Structure 1
Amino acid sequence: MRQRALPKPRIPSATYRLQFNAQFSFDQAREIVGYLSELGISDLYASSYLQAKPGSIHGYDVVNQTLLNREVGGEQSYQALMDELKRHGMGHILDFVPNHMCVESEENLWWMDVLENGPSSLNAHFFDIDWAPVKKELTDKVLLPFLGDQYGRVLERGELKLSYREGAFSIDYYGMHIPIEPKSTLEILSLNQERLQEQFSDDAPALLEYFSIVTSLLHLPVATERDPELKEERHREKEIIKKRLDRLCREEPRVARHLEESIAVFNGTLGDRHSFDLLDRLLQNQCYRLSFWRVATEEINYRRFFDINALAAIRMEDPAVFNQTHQLLFRLIREGKVTGVRIDHVDGLYDPLGYLEKLQESCFKELAGEQADYRGTVEENPGYRPFYVAVEKILMKGEQLPKEWPVFGSTGYDFLNQVNGIFVDAEQGKAFERIYDHFLGYHSDFTELMYEKKKLVLQVSLSGEANMLGHRLNNISERDRLTRDFTLNSLVRVISEVIACFPVYRTYVVPGTVRERDVQYIEAAVGKAQRKNPALNASIFEFLRDVLLLRFPETADEADRVAWLDFAMHFQQITGPVMAKGLEDTTFYVYNRLASLNEVGGMPGRFGTTLAAFHGQSMERLKNTPHAMITTATHDTKRGEDVRTRIDALSEMPDEWEETLKRWSRLNRDKEVQVEGQRIPTHHKEYLLYQTLLGAWPLGEMDPQQYESFLGRIREYLIKASREAKTHTSWISPNQPYEEALLRFVDAILARGGPNEFLDDFIPFQKRIARFGLFNSLSQLLLKMVSPGCPDFYQGTELWDLTLVDPDNRRPVDYQVRLKALAGLKARERDLGPRELVRQLVESRENGWIKLYTIYRVLNFRKANRETLEFGEYLPLEAQGARAGNICAFLRRGAGKTVVAAVPRMLSSLAPEPGQLPLGEVWLDSLLVLDGAAGHYRNVITDEELETVDHAGRTALSLAQLFATAPVALLEKR
Structure 2
Amino acid sequence: MTVPRSTLRLQFHRGFTFDDALAHLEYFAALGISHLYASPVTSAVPGSMHGYDTVDYTQVSAECGGEAALKRLADKLHERGMGLIVDIVPNHMGIAGSGAHNGWWRDILEWGRHSAYARHFDVDWHSPDPALRGKVLLPCLGAPYGEELAAGRIKLRFAADTGRFNIEYGDHVCPVCPIDYAALLQSADRTDLNALAEQFRGLTTQPADQPRAAQACDALREFARQNGATSIDFVLQAYAPEDPVTRDHLHRLLERQHYRLAWWRTAADEVNWRRFFDISTLAAVRVERPEVFEAVHALVFRLYAEGVVDGVRIDHIDGLAEPREYCQRLRQRLSELREGAPYIVVEKILARGEPLRDDWPVDGTTGYDFMNDVGALLHDPRGAEPLASTWAELSGRSAVFADEALVARRKILNENLAAELDRAARALHRVARDNLATRDFTYTSIRRVTGELAAHFPVYRIYPQNGLRSAADNVYFDQALDAARRMLSRADCTVLERVDMWLGSGVDEPAGVREAAAAGSNREATDLRTDLRTDLRTDARTDARTNPRAQHPPQGAATGAFNHAAAARRTVQTLFSQLTAPVAAKAIEDTACYRYGRLISRNEVGADPGEFAISVDQFHASNLERARRYPHAMLVTATHDHKRGEDVRARLAVLSEIADEWSATLRAWSTLNTPQRRAPSGDTTADALTDDWAPGPAAEAMMYQTLVGCWPPDLSADDEAGIAELAERVAQWLLKGLREAKVRTNWFAPDEAFENACRAFLFDILAPQRRDGFLRELCAFVARISRAGVINSLQQTILRLASPGVPDLYQGTELWDFSLVDPDNRRPVDFEKRAAMLAEKPPSEFLADWHDGRVKLAIVQRMLALRTHLPELLSQGAYVPLAVEGAHAERAIAFARRQGNAWAVVIATRLAVPLLSEADADAKAGDRALADIPLVEPARWEDTAVRMPEELFGRAMFDWVSPAAPKVEDNGLLYLRDALTSMPVAVLVEDGVPRT
* Superposition TM-score, scaled by structure 2 size: 0.89
Partner Cα distance (2:201, 2:464) in 1: 47
Asked if the contact 1:34–1:88 (Cα under 8 Å) also holds between the matched residues in 2, the reply is no
Letter in 1 for 2:464: V
- Quick check: 1:867 aligned with 2:867? no
Q: Aligned to 2:200, what secondary structure does the other structure show?
A: helix
Asked if the contact 2:894–2:905 (Cα under 8 Å) also holds between the matched residues in 1, the reply is yes
Partner Cα distance (1:733, 1:310) in 2: 18
- Quick check: 1:92 aligned with 2:84? yes
Residue 332 of structure 2: aligned partner: 361
Partner Cα distance (2:373, 2:568) in 1: 40
Letter in 1 for 2:223: L
Asked if the contact 1:16–1:41 (Cα under 8 Å) also holds between the matched residues in 2, the reply is yes
Q: CA deviation at 1:968?
A: 0.8
Out of 641, 658, 663, the residue aligned to residue 646 of structure 2 is: 641
Q: Which moved more, 1:387-396 or 1:473-482?
A: 473-482
Q: CA deviation at 1:427?
A: 2.5
Residue 760 of structure 1: aligned partner: 776
Change (3 A) 1:627 1:213: same
CA deviations 1:381-404 (Å, max 9, x no partner) are: xxxx82100000000011011000
Partner Cα distance (2:260, 2:397) in 1: 46
Partner Cα distance (1:701, 1:548) in 2: 56
Out of 157, 179, 184, the residue aligned to residue 188 of structure 1 is: 184
Residue 379 of structure 1: aligned partner: none
Q: CA deviation at 1:665?
A: 1.2
Out of 86, 94, 119, the residue aligned to residue 125 of structure 1 is: 119
Letter in 2 for 1:668: N
Residue 964 of structure 1: aligned partner: 981
Asked if the contact 2:156–2:236 (Cα under 8 Å) also holds between the matched residues in 1, the reply is yes
Letter in 2 for 1:69: S
Partner Cα distance (1:126, 1:565) in 2: 19
Q: CA deviation at 1:594?
A: 1.0
Out of 580, 587, 612, the residue aligned to residue 585 of structure 2 is: 580
Change (3 A) 1:667 1:535: farther
- Quick check: 1:684 aligned with 2:702? no
Asked if the contact 1:133–1:468 (Cα under 8 Å) also holds between the matched residues in 2, the reply is no
Change (3 A) 1:283 1:926: same
Partner Cα distance (2:860, 2:180) in 1: 63
Letter in 2 for 1:334: A
Q: CA deviation at 1:441?
A: 3.6
Asked if the contact 1:618–1:788 (Cα under 8 Å) also holds between the matched residues in 2, the reply is yes
Asked if the contact 1:509–1:515 (Cα under 8 Å) also holds between the matched residues in 2, the reply is yes
Residue 216 of structure 2: aligned partner: 241
Out of 144, 148, 151, the residue aligned to residue 150 of structure 1 is: 144
CA deviations 1:675-701 (Å, max 9, x no partner) are: 366122221111101111110001103
Q: CA deviation at 1:62?
A: 0.5
Asked if the contact 1:134–1:471 (Cα under 8 Å) also holds between the matched residues in 2, the reply is no
Partner Cα distance (1:631, 1:960) in 2: 30
1:233-312 equivalence runs, <5 A = 233-252=208-227, 257=230, 259-269=232-242, 272-312=243-283
Q: CA deviation at 1:456?
A: 0.3
Letter in 1 for 2:819: T
1:2-81 equivalence runs, <5 A = 9-81=1-73
Letter in 1 for 2:972: T
Asked if the contact 1:875–1:890 (Cα under 8 Å) also holds between the matched residues in 2, the reply is yes
- Quick check: 1:137 aligned with 2:120? no
Out of 713, 721, 725, the residue aligned to residue 741 of structure 2 is: 725
Q: Which moved more, 1:546-555 or 1:720-729?
A: 546-555
Asked if the contact 1:431–1:654 (Cα under 8 Å) also holds between the matched residues in 2, the reply is yes
Partner Cα distance (2:469, 2:668) in 1: 55
Asked if the contact 1:436–1:593 (Cα under 8 Å) also holds between the matched residues in 2, the reply is yes
Out of 553, 566, 571, the residue aligned to residue 510 of structure 2 is: 553
Q: Aligned to 2:946, what secondary structure does the other structure show?
A: strand
Asked if the contact 2:8–2:37 (Cα under 8 Å) also holds between the matched residues in 1, the reply is yes
Partner Cα distance (1:645, 1:174) in 2: 45
Partner Cα distance (1:479, 1:595) in 2: 49
Change (3 A) 1:127 1:171: same
Out of 479, 482, 489, the residue aligned to residue 527 of structure 1 is: 482
Partner Cα distance (2:786, 2:323) in 1: 42
Asked if the contact 2:344–2:364 (Cα under 8 Å) also holds between the matched residues in 1, the reply is yes
Change (3 A) 1:865 1:156: same
Letter in 1 for 2:157: S
Q: Aligned to 1:674, what secondary structure does the other structure show?
A: coil
1:767-806 equivalence runs, <5 A = 767-806=783-822
Asked if the contact 1:523–1:545 (Cα under 8 Å) also holds between the matched residues in 2, the reply is no
1:701-740 equivalence runs, <5 A = 701=715, 703-740=719-756
Q: CA deviation at 1:354?
A: 1.0
Asked if the contact 1:145–1:294 (Cα under 8 Å) also holds between the matched residues in 2, the reply is yes
- Quick check: 1:386 aligned with 2:341? yes
Asked if the contact 1:19–1:810 (Cα under 8 Å) also holds between the matched residues in 2, the reply is yes
Residue 325 of structure 1: aligned partner: 296
Q: CA deviation at 1:751?
A: 1.0
Out of 809, 812, 817, the residue aligned to residue 833 of structure 2 is: 817
Change (3 A) 1:946 1:737: same
Change (3 A) 1:341 1:446: same
Q: CA deviation at 1:536?
A: 5.2
Change (3 A) 1:277 1:56: same
Asked if the contact 1:930–1:957 (Cα under 8 Å) also holds between the matched residues in 2, the reply is yes
Residue 926 of structure 1: aligned partner: 944
Change (3 A) 1:442 1:342: closer
Residue 372 of structure 1: aligned partner: none
- Quick check: 1:407 aligned with 2:378? no
Partner Cα distance (1:257, 1:698) in 2: 59
Letter in 2 for 1:494: V
Q: CA deviation at 1:315?
A: 0.5
Q: CA deviation at 1:925?
A: 2.9
Letter in 1 for 2:108: V
Q: Which runs of 5+ in 2 are unaligned?
A: 514-560, 682-689, 921-930, 992-996
Change (3 A) 1:919 1:48: farther
Residue 595 of structure 2: aligned partner: 590
Q: CA deviation at 1:428?
A: 2.5
Asked if the contact 1:724–1:730 (Cα under 8 Å) also holds between the matched residues in 2, the reply is yes
Q: Aligned to 2:819, what secondary structure does the other structure show?
A: coil
- Quick check: 1:569 aligned with 2:568? no
Q: Which runs of 5+ in 1 are unaligned?
A: 1-8, 198-206, 224-229, 369-384
Asked if the contact 1:45–1:94 (Cα under 8 Å) also holds between the matched residues in 2, the reply is yes
Letter in 1 for 2:600: A
Residue 203 of structure 1: aligned partner: none
CA deviations 1:225-245 (Å, max 9, x no partner) are: xxxxx42x1221111111122
Letter in 2 for 1:779: Q
Out of 145, 158, 170, the residue aligned to residue 166 of structure 2 is: 170
Partner Cα distance (1:464, 1:729) in 2: 22
- Quick check: 1:435 aligned with 2:387? no
Q: Which moved more, 1:407-416 or 1:67-76?
A: 67-76
Letter in 2 for 1:811: R
Letter in 1 for 2:366: T
- Quick check: 1:109 aligned with 2:71? no
Partner Cα distance (2:400, 2:966) in 1: 50
1:607-622 equivalence runs, <5 A = 607-622=612-627
Runs of 4 or more off by more than 4 Å in structure 1?
Answer: 210-213, 753-756
Letter in 1 for 2:809: F
CA root-mean-square deviation: 1.6
Q: Aligned to 1:843, what secondary structure does the other structure show?
A: coil
Letter in 2 for 1:599: E
Q: Percent identity?
A: 37
Asked if the contact 1:881–1:926 (Cα under 8 Å) also holds between the matched residues in 2, the reply is yes
Partner Cα distance (1:569, 1:443) in 2: 34
Partner Cα distance (1:499, 1:786) in 2: 38
Out of 931, 934, 943, the residue aligned to residue 963 of structure 2 is: 943
Asked if the contact 1:351–1:510 (Cα under 8 Å) also holds between the matched residues in 2, the reply is no
Partner Cα distance (2:780, 2:130) in 1: 64
Asked if the contact 1:122–1:235 (Cα under 8 Å) also holds between the matched residues in 2, the reply is no
Out of 463, 476, 501, the residue aligned to residue 508 of structure 1 is: 463
Q: Aligned to 1:971, what secondary structure does the other structure show?
A: strand
